[in-house]
Structure 1
Amino acid sequence: MRVIGLISGTSVDGIDAALVDISGTDLDIEIELVASATYPYPTPLRERILAVCAGEALSMAELAELDDAIAYTFARSAQNIQLGHSPASVIGSHGQTVYHRPPQKEGIGNREWGIGNTTTPYPLPPTPYPLLGYSLQLGRGAVIAHLTGIKTVSNFRAADIAVGGHGAPLVPRIDAALLSDFNEGRCIQNIGGIGNVAYIPPRRDSNWLEKLRGWDTGPGNSLLDLAVEHLSSGTKTYDENGAWAASGNPCHPLVEQWLTQDYFHLPPPKSTGRELFGVSYLQNCLQDAEAYQLSPADILATLTELTAASIVHSYRSFLPQLPQRVLLCGGGSRNLYLKARIQHLLDSVPVMITDDVGLNADFKEAIAFAVLAYWRYMGTPGNLPTATGARQEVLLGEVS
């Protein structure tokens, strides 16, 4: 089956599109990447998305308009990626995350909202009660299907959340299918706006899939890109190859201070986003840095060190043992300084990129949502409860 995978991550750089041929069933699948491209958002649309992600208020009418604008842009990307190729049968669209809230141990109080009516036959749980997670991706699949004429699978996170999961990360099952090794334990580390990892034990191990783990490690490129834009007064949006950070010196006491943040010590399953590691977090970091009189390059080096250190800290804290190999993917895999810092902190564990084992590092996430759409079409569960915390495996995605 020929499938299109579409995603715009927390960096909001643009829409990654992958045209993929997929065959096989469940974990025994084979893929061929036919075409791939990144389609930037129009500047006004990107600025609006970033503002909403940062907490800017908008009316329901504005929300509907933004949802449609994102869907239109995704649909146009799906049409463009097919030019010169035979058409796809299915589109898998992740959409654009604008809000993510992990499950909460305690939710809203019934009395606060006047909903604790105990005279009903089935009263609500006592206050406070556990609250399911919530994750909002804009760019509705119905619009994409309507504009392209292609069956579209979207809203992938909702089904996992409905059975108590975080709805994230969703890629570990795909990593198990495409990047596992019979003899070698691996960490597949995606570095987008947020970092997330899939730990894949050797396939020779009994019940190897049940031993697979995954979680969001913390900031990826989110703080780095925000810092670059701030420190360059808007003339740059990212640190190409990590060259600017490499010209500075990280302030290790600051990194140690930042690593005391609660999220880094929360055991998996766990997920996060710009709601935590966004503009406010960066402002706090910059305020902390004032005491050390750091140069812009030093600040960027220190934030890069935080991304690297938080990744390695999570491995040492939550894995049964360190992997035999780490494979990086996502935009951060092209940051040579960040890659070097991860390698330094992991010492003898080789750090490579997924390109080195035959899977495109830039478009792996888009490929993943093509696979998830394929699995939905084939009736195969897409989540991995050991990664998301869900009670069970479920079909992911709504079909339009």
Structure 2
Amino acid sequence: MKPADEEKRDKTMRVIGLISGTSVDGIDVALVEIEGEGYDLQANVLSGFTAPYPDDLRQRILSVCAGQPMALADLADLDEAIAHQFAQAAQRVIDRTGPVDLVASHGQTVFHRPVQGERLAYSVQLGRGASLVRRLGVPTVSNFRQADIDAGGEGAPLVPIVDLCLLSHPQQRRCVQNIGGIGNVTYLPAWDRSQSPQPPAILGWDTGPGNSLIDIAMATLSEGTLTYDADGAWAAQGTPCQELIHDWLQHPYLHQPPPKSTGRELFGWEYFQHCYAAAQHRGLSPTDIVATLTQFTAATIAQSYRSFLPALPDTILVGGGGCRNPVLMAHLQAEFPEIPVNPTDAAGMPASDKEAIAFAVLGYWRWQGFPGNLPAVTGARSAVCLGDLHQP
């Protein structure tokens, strides 16, 4: 008989990945069939969808993210309510497709503070794994960021190591840009695995705002009737203010060298109020404001690449909700007219499921006992296994 650890490595596993990002627009769910060991793995996406939050729960989450005070008892209730929604989303997959071997749940980030001097980073994800395993009866990995933080890292970004395994190319330098509530990039040098099983050094960091400022603008300017700029419709009708974009690009975070991470605490409600006041002072219309914030998001990504990459990529692959905004994608393409800019679908990974797929892989690695962080990306002292494993 094989030892138990070898059986783990040999087994093809059906893993559900779950995450709700900083846009708080719902729970992204992916069922992934995974086999292999470490960097040498294959991942086949069997199913993917987004489960929207109930409106009242979404507003409670956004209130916490905006820094509104909340009693600890209410926070505990919110934690349990989010776990319930995550469990329901996973159960939908199980009901449709049959039993799974593992659930990997990132949960819902409500607070993220990067490393500050001698202070460790601090990151809070609600929707605890112990509640999921009790509801689902399936081994569950959660709390992915804490081990990296304990090792002195930012706890973010965590997806670059998965990008390396699933999206690297033998001849091309690639940037994989996620545009969720916050933007983050993975820089992948060319990697021919047949020639070099050892992967190259990759880079990754949070580039700044993704959809966060645009979403807040839409909710504010529509008086709560809209939560995002569907198909970039408002941005397409407005004219960006280049002077404001130039001013906003001076934000200190955007000039801070990696490794670095950020969140709504920096590019959320408070910063939007600063942008909104400046736009009103210049007499911008609502559509002009959205157009300006949309181009600003693309400009932060471009500035980040030109400031911190060793070389520009041969291609840019985009995931997250931002890749469904044609105006934002057009601005990003205009920043790099010689470089193809496409959703990650062009490389075989469904853009809408990308983050959920990544956490399915990170959960699989936790099951195998394989490190899931990249110290060069997060700033941690060493590579560590990520996540708490909860058994039924």
TM-score range, shorter chain: over 0.9
The unaligned stretches of length 5 or more in structure 1 are 106-129
Residue number in structure 2 paired with 1:75: 87
One-letter amino acid matched to 2:306: R
CA drift of 1:381 comes to: 0.6
Residue 295 (structure 1) aligned to one of 257, 274, 285 = 285
One-letter amino acid matched to 2:43: I
Q: What are the residue-to-residue correspondences of 1:1-400 with 2, within 5 Å? A: 1-105=13-117, 130-204=118-192, 209-400=199-390
Q: Aligned partners of 1:299, 1:207: CA distance in 2, in Å?
A: 48
Q: Aligned partners of 2:113, 2:283: CA distance in 1, in Å?
A: 35
Moved more, 52-61 or 183-192: 52-61
Three-state SS of the structure 2 residue aligned to 1:6 is strand
Q: Aligned partners of 2:124, 2:185: CA distance in 1, in Å?
A: 21
Moved more, 208-217 or 57-66: 208-217
CA drift of 1:290 comes to: 2.1
Three-state SS of the structure 1 residue aligned to 2:352 is coil
CA offsets per residue over residues 264-306 of structure 1, 9 Å max, x none?
A: 0000000000001111111110111123211111111100011
* Matched-pair contact (CA < 8 Å) for 2:144–2:386: yes
Aligned residues: 376
CA drift of 1:134 comes to: 0.5
Moved more, 205-214 or 239-248: 205-214
CA drift of 1:240 comes to: 1.1
The unaligned stretches of length 5 or more in structure 2 are 1-12
* Matched-pair contact (CA < 8 Å) for 1:157–1:397: yes
* Matched-pair contact (CA < 8 Å) for 1:197–1:216: yes
Three-state SS of the structure 2 residue aligned to 1:363 is helix
Three-state SS of the structure 1 residue aligned to 2:97 is coil
CA offsets per residue over residues 126-179 of structure 1, 9 Å max, x none?
A: xxxx11100000011000000000000000000000011000000000000000
One-letter amino acid matched to 1:170: L
Q: TM-score, normalised by structure 1?
A: 0.92
In structure 2, the CA distance between the partners of 1:223 and 1:211, relative to structure 1 (3 Å rule), is same
Q: TM-score, normalised by structure 2?
A: 0.94
In structure 2, the CA distance between the partners of 1:279 and 1:208, relative to structure 1 (3 Å rule), is farther
Q: Aligned partners of 1:278, 1:290: CA distance in 2, in Å?
A: 18
One-letter amino acid matched to 1:294: L
CA drift of 1:243 comes to: 1.9
CA offsets per residue over residues 7-42 of structure 1, 9 Å max, x none?
A: 000011111111110011111111111111111111
Q: Aligned partners of 1:311, 1:289: CA distance in 2, in Å?
A: 21
Runs of 4+ in 1 over 3 A off after TM superposition: 204-210
Query: In angstroms, what is the RMSD of aligned CA positions?
Result: 1.2
One-letter amino acid matched to 1:161: I
Three-state SS of the structure 1 residue aligned to 2:381 is coil
In structure 2, the CA distance between the partners of 1:232 and 1:13, relative to structure 1 (3 Å rule), is same
